[in-house]
């Protein structure tokens, strides 16, 4: 969807300067991957039509605590790869960091052509407090009372609406936005594809608490600042906020272990390996939040147990992630 959206959008704009913001890009090796796809797509389209590729202004956004230096250190390699693929010089692509929460304004009005966010907008702006009856859980579960789901949905509605409102002010008229959210495949807030990996993490925390490494009350008082929406909820919020028109919406299902896919013909399931692969991804996304509540001392032990629990689970059931991918245009 990303390449198709960029092609269709740039064919109409034909701007000499193209400004892009990647929201919540993080600092890992994939931080520049989406930007590479966007720039290559525009270059290829311009080349096919005999046009000059525009200058690209790229903003990489994440929270101020993110290690932007990791991204900046990778820029020489990125520019070298870009030149090999497109023959574009460094002077045609300008990349900078924009620290700050995307649940607020980050850019001047009507300065952006394109906004991209992958696997970031389902994170809430704050840890939910005041939920006192979600014992033994760190997210919505099959045993959670109704008020837990309502509190999560209410916070997501507020956060996502604010995100849309801020981006609408920063995008130019008819500007485009593509979001990929980890969501759920049904309207049931406790379906397995959105709660199971947090349930297994909660079980790992409870194992540690039974050994006295943390207090069980600490587990009961913690709620992961994260919400996996159903696509209908996403559409409803976009409609009520009113700034964007939906172009496309798709649901994509992928196995928990990224190595376990139909294209990997040499893949052979191993519960220990798969458990470690999934634990590595979940740790990368959640470690900072867990450390702030439980402390750093338990983290290695926690994810060692979590990898074992995930491996056992996957040996019995091949659970999938459900991603909601949505393309939007800012209304005039």
What is the pLDDT at residue 262?
A: 66
pLDDT confidence tier of residue 1, bands split at 50, 70 and 90: confident
What is the pLDDT at residue 313?
A: 93
Q: Torsion-angle region of residue 85: left (phi > 0), alpha (psi -120 to 50) or beta?
A: alpha
What is the pLDDT at residue 320?
A: 87
pLDDT confidence tier of residue 61, bands split at 50, 70 and 90: very high
Cα dihedral 83, 88, 92, 93 sign = negative
pLDDT tens string 171-222: 999 999 999 999 998 898 888 777 888 999 999 999 999 999 999 999 999 9
Lowest mean pLDDT among 52-66, 198-212, 222-236: 52-66
- Burial environment of residue 328 by CB neighbours within 10 A (0 to 12, 13 to 18, 19 or more): buried
What is the pLDDT at residue 104?
A: 96
What is the pLDDT at residue 332?
A: 84
What is the pLDDT at residue 159?
A: 97
Q: Taking residues 45-73, what's their average pLDDT?
A: 87
What is the pLDDT at residue 318?
A: 84
pLDDT tens string 284-332: 889 999 999 999 999 999 999 999 999 999 999 888 889 999 999 999 8
Long-range pairs, 310-313, Cβ under 8 A, ≥24 = 310/197, 310/200, 310/256, 310/274, 310/275, 310/278, 310/279, 311/271, 311/272, 311/273, 311/274, 311/275, 311/276, 312/271, 312/275, 313/196, 313/200
pLDDT tens string 124-142: 999 888 788 889 999 999 8
pLDDT tens string 71-122: 888 888 888 888 887 776 666 889 999 999 999 999 999 999 999 999 999 9
């Amino acid at each position: 969807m990303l390449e198709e959206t960029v092609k269709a959008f740039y064919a109409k704009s034909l701007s000499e300067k193209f400004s892009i913001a990647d929201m919540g890009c993080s600092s890992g090796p994939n931080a520049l991957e989406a930007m590479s796809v966007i720039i290559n797509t525009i270059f290829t389209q311009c080349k096919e039509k005999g046009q000059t590729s525009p200058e690209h202004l790229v903003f990489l956004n994440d929270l101020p605590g993110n290690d932007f230096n990791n991204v900046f250190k990778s820029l020489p390699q990125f520019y070298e790869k870009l030149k090999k693929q497109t023959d574009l010089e460094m002077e045609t692509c300008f990349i900078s960091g924009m620290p700050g929460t995307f649940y607020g304004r980050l850019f001047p009005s009507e300065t952006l052509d394109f906004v991209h966010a992958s696997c970031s907008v389902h994170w809430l702006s704050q840890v939910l407090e005041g939920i006192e009856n979600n014992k033994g859980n760190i997210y919505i579960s099959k045993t959670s009372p109704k008020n837990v789901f309502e509190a999560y949905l209410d916070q997501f509605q507020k956060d996502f609406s604010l995100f849309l409102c801020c981006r609408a002010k920063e995008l130019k008229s008819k500007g485009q936005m593509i979001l990929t959210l980890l969501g759920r495949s049904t309207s049931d807030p406790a379906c397995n594809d959105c709660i199971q990996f947090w349930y297994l993490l909660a079980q790992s925390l409870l194992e540690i608490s039974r050994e006295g490494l943390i207090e069980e009350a600490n587990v009961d008082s913690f709620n992961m600042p994260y919400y996996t929406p159903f696509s209908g909820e996403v559409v409803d919020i976009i409609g009520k906020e009113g700034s964007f028109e939906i172009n496309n919406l798709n649901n994509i299902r992928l196995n928990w272990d990224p190595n376990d896919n139909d294209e990997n013909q040499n893949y052979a399931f191993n519960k220990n390996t798969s458990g470690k692969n999934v634990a590595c991804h979940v740790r990368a996304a959640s470690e900072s939040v867990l450390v702030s509540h439980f402390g750093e001392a338990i983290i290695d032990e926690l994810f060692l147990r979590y990898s074992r629990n995930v491996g056992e689970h996957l040996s019995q059931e091949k659970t999938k992630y459900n991603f909601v991918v949505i393309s939007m245009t800012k209304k005039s």
